[in-house]
Amino acid sequence: MSNMLRESPYPMVSIADATAMIMAHTQPLGSEEIDALTALGRVLATDIAAPEDIPDVPKAAMDGYALRAGDGLAPRRVVGELTAGGDTTVALGPGEATRIMTGAPMPPGADAMIPVELTEERDGMLFIKRELKPGDYVHVVGQDVARGQIALTAGTILGAADIGILATLGLTRISVYRRPRVAVLATGDEVVEPGETRPGGAVRDSNRYALMAAVREAGGEPISLGIARDDIAVQRQAILRGLEQADVLITSGGVSMGTRDLIKPLLAELGTVHFGRIAFKPGKPTTFATVNGKLVFGLPGFPVSSLVSFEVFVRPALRALQGDARPFRPHVEVTLDSPITPAPDRPEYQRIIVTYRAGRLFATSTGGQGSSRILSLRGANGLLLVPAGETVYPVGSVLPALLTGPLLSEG
C-alpha cells in the first residue's frame, strides 16, 4: 500500500473559479418537441410569437346590454339576447339594445355596452343612468395578446400560467430543452443498499438516493448506476457504462486521499480533470472532469458534503444544460439569529433556516455542521456563506446566503 497521499496533487481552486470552470463547459442540450399542455417545469427553447389576436373579435367584458353610445340616455328597445358561444347574433339599429353575456361577441351596429348593475329593464325597454362612450366595457381585438407579440421567451421555466398562455394561443406542441440524463454512481466497499441487512460498521447508500432526488428536483432525469466496490476495474466499467447512457455523471465517494480513493486517477485516465480540490467546506475534494464532452462530478462521500456540493456546483450546471435563463439560486444577505462559528481554513456553506420578519431576512443555524451529520440539512432553506476565520459571528451579524427553498414567514 501507501498511496495514502500526504498532500493532494490538485491545486486548490476558489468557489468562484470552480463555478466558472463548470459553466464554461456547460451549454444547453438540444431541444425536443413535446405536448405544451403537459410541459409544466420544462424550459422553453424558442420565443413564442402569438399567431393571432386574443380576443379575435370585440366582446362584452361584463354581463349587461350592448347598445349604441350615440343614443345617449334615451331608453332602448331590447331586441334579443346574446351569449358567449351562442350561434345567433342580431344587428342593432338606432334606439336598440340587446342583452349580452360576458364574453359574447359584440353584435354589428353596437359600439359599447353597459353592465347590468347600471340598468333597469321594464316591458322590453332598457333604461340606463350613465352616458357611454364608444368602446366602453368592450373587450377589444388584441387587447389581451396582440398578433405577432412575443408571448413567452426562450429560457422561460413553464409554470401553470404559461401553459394557460400556450393553450389560449392554440399552441399544443412546443419546443423545450431536453432534460439532462444524470447517472449517479455510489462507490465504496463499506456501502450497502438501504433495504439490505447492514453488516456492523457498514453504511447504507443514502447519497445515491438523495442525489437522484436532487437531480429530479433540478429538472434532470436520474439514472442509478448502483454501488461500485473499491476496485479500479469495477469503477472504470461503471463510469463508462454511465457515460454511455447519460449527459452527466455524478460519483459519490472515493475522491479523498485514502488508498481506496480511485475516482480522481480514473477520471484523469478517461478524460480531463479541471479541478480536484475546492477551497470550500463541506466538500473540499469535489472534483470536476469532462470525458468525451460530458460533465463528470466526483462528489465526496460524506452525506452533507455530497448534497451541499451538488447544490453549489452541480445544480447550476443541470439548470444551464436545460436552458434555464437563471441557473443560479437567489443570493441574499441574512441577519444571524444564532451565532456562527467559521471554519479556520476555508469558506464554508453552513445550512440555515431563513425566515422573513419585519422587512428583513433572518438566519438560524440547523445545528452541528459536521460533514457526516445529515440532520444539518433537515429543514434548511438556505446556505450561509461564512468566510474563513477564527472569530465567531455574533447574533445580528449580516452574511451572504443562497436561498435553496421557499422562505419561511412569521405570523
Taking CB under 8 A as the rule, does residue 221 contact a copy of itself? no
Close Cβ partners of 20 (under 8 Å, ≥ 6 residues apart): none
344 binds a copy of itself per the rule CB under 8 A: no
- Tell me which stretch binds a copy of itself (CB under 8 A): 143-151, 263-271, 276-284, 286-294: 143-151
Asked if residue 79 binds a copy of itself (CB under 8 A), the reply is: no
Do β-strands 248-252 and 125-128 pair in parallel, antiparallel, or remain unpaired? Answer: unpaired
Per CB under 8 A, the segment of 24-32, 195-203, 242-250, 272-280 that binds a copy of itself is 195-203
Our CB check for a copy of itself shows the closer of 43 and 291 to be: 43
Q: Is 364 in the site for a copy of itself (CB under 8 A)?
A: no
Residue closer to a copy of itself by CB (options 25, 204) is 204
Residues in 9-68 that interact with a copy of itself by CB under 8 A: 36-37, 40, 55-57, 59, 61, 63
Cα–Cα nearest to 290, from 48, 1, 23:
23
CA dist., res. 40 & res. 150, Å (int): 20
User: What are the CA-CA distances from residue 331 to residues 140, 335, 356, 361, 404 (Å)?
Assistant: 42, 13, 14, 12, 9
The torsion angles phi and psi of 357, rounded to 5 degrees, stand at: -150, 120
Task: State which H helix or E strand residue 82 sits in.
Answer: strand 76-82
State the minimum distance, in angstroms, from the CB of residue 404 to a copy of itself: 9
Task: Provide, rounded to whole angstroms, the least separation between the CB of residue 259 and a copy of itself.
Answer: 6
Instruction: Tell me the three cell numbers of residue 112.
Output: 359599447
Selection from 148, 280, 153, 298 nearest residue 228 by Cα? 298
Segment 148-177, which members bind a copy of itself (CB under 8 A)? 151-152, 156, 159-172
Does the protein bind a copy of itself through residue 294 (CB under 8 A)? no
For a copy of itself, the closer of residues 18 and 210 by Cβ is 210
Site membership for a copy of itself, residue 90 (CB under 8 A): no
Among 29, 138, 174, 210, binds a copy of itself (CB under 8 A): 210
Quote the cell numbers at residue 146.
396582440
Q: Does 77 bind a copy of itself (CB under 8 A)?
A: no
Give CA separation, 411 vs 182, 337, 380, 381, in Å.
41, 17, 20, 18
Per rule CB under 8 A, is residue 141 in the interface with a copy of itself?
no
**CA–CA separation, 90 and 294 (whole Å):** 65
Site stretch for a copy of itself (CB under 8 A), options 16-24, 194-202, 271-279, 338-346: 194-202
Stretch that binds a copy of itself, among 13-21, 90-98, 208-216, 386-394 (CB under 8 A): 208-216
Q: How far is it, in rounded angstroms, from Cα 39 to Cα 21?
A: 31
Within 371-400, the residues that bind a copy of itself by CB under 8 A are: 372-375, 377-380, 398
Residue 191 near a copy of itself by CB under 8 A: yes
Smaller CB separation from a copy of itself, 274 or 297: 297
Q: Does 88 help bind a copy of itself (rule: CB under 8 A)? A: no
Measure the CA–CA gap between 230 and 193, rounded to whole angstroms.
16
95 and 74 Cβ atoms separated by less than 8 Å: yes
Question: Counting contacts by CB under 8 A, is residue 209 touching a copy of itself?
Answer: yes
Contacts of 384 (CB under 8 A, 6+ apart): 334, 340, 349, 350, 351, 352, 363, 399, 400, 401
Among 32, 131, 189, 269, binds a copy of itself (CB under 8 A): 189
Nearest to 150 by CA among 32, 241, 44, 256: 44
Binders of a copy of itself among residues 228 to 267 (CB under 8 A) are 229-230, 256-260
Count residues contacting a copy of itself (CB under 8 A)? Answer: 109
Q: What is the DSSP string of 292-357?
A: TTEEEEEE-SSHHHHHHHIIIIIHHHHHHHTT-S--SPPEEEEEESS-BPPPSSS-EEEEEEEEEE
Smallest separation, CB 335 to a copy of itself (Å)? 9
Nearer to a copy of itself, 291 or 302 (CB): 302
Q: Toward a copy of itself, which CB reaches closer, 243 or 311?
A: 311
